[in-house]
Amino acid sequence: MSSYKIGVIKGDGIGPEIVQEAVKVLDAVANVEGLSFSYEEFLLGGSAIDATGVPLPKETIEGVKRVDAVLFGAIGGPKWDNLDRHLRPESGLLALRKEMNTFANLRPATVYDELINASTLKPEVVEGVDIMVVRELTGGIYFGEPREYGKDRAYNTMVYTKEEVERIAKVAFDIASKRDKRVCSVDKANVLEVSQFWRDIVEEVAKDYPEVELTHMYVDNAAMQLIRYPKQFDVILTGNIFGDILSDAASMLSGSIGLLPSASTGKKVGLYEPIHGSAPDIAGEGIANPIATIASASMMLKYAFGELSAANRIDDAIKKALADGYRTKDLSAFDAKEVVSTSQMGSIIADYASK
């Protein structure tokens, strides 16, 4: 029996509700796949501020280093919006990613056939869409120095090193080699020196992957093409700020932000989380969609543990639940046979995954 230690960060808002359902599904899969999971909870974000005064306690930094992967819900809310920037929940998450060296953010954008009408785009445009956005997560303009906010001017600095570009490019090419063998590297090399630097290094890395086709696209065109013809993309490789924008745009191809997972991986421990926020306006009402968090648990099984059978079991259970017409409130307008609560959806998927 394979055993894994999972760090659990429930976070704020709907975070505790959706993480609870993902753990429920993990336990169901463990029973049939011969796996053993142990869990250790850590604080992050608003809940950490309330308990300790800081968004990222020392105990959390130390704790994530002794587990095999971290399952994370969501953080933030208006309660903490007026704090100084370094004390806000989001600053805690950025610092945690830096501490964990999770430099690669994997954001799949997959359109479920059962929910094709949920997309705001025409069915023929989004049918069959299956994109993986690989975003560099710990460099670029969000972390570049120097930076300044002044009365008369403010500035940030976009910086990338050769090592940072090489390692994220290798992640993208490795993933593409197991998919449709196509990488589109997105930059702004026509006006930014750092983007030309990025492009040159990506081309060097590509030489080690002759079976993978490499193309380049400017970020403004990539944003347009995601809407015009998203099926042209397999793996999108890009930097931090461009990836932040493009991955959110790609996520809406599915029609609901409540469906899509993500993984932030690096050299050791990865962070697996839904792409949506903490939705404090619906916290505690039992109507949040847990599918993105459950799918994040599936990504954890695949990328952190190499348990492909267990991951596929969860993915198949999600598709079956949707095919059978079960919908949470956010999807109730799309071919719903029964509208279910957060907990009910988790139990349905867990039941399917255990068979």
Mean per-residue pLDDT for 85-108?
93
Catalytic residues: 142, 188, 220, 244, 248
Q: Using DSSP bridges, classify how beta strands 270-274 and 69-74 pair: parallel, antiparallel or unpaired.
A: parallel
What is the reported pLDDT for 268? 86
pLDDT tens per residue across span 101-117: 999 999 999 999 889 98
**297: closest CA among 75, 16, 73?**
73
What is the reported pLDDT for 256? 80
- DSSP 8-state assignment for residue 181: S
* Domains of the chain with bracketed CATH: 1-102+257-355 (3.40.718.10), 120-254 (3.40.718.10)
What is the reported pLDDT for 114? 87
- DSSP 8-state assignment for residue 300: I
What is the reported pLDDT for 93? 93
On the question of pLDDT at 252 being above 90, the answer is no
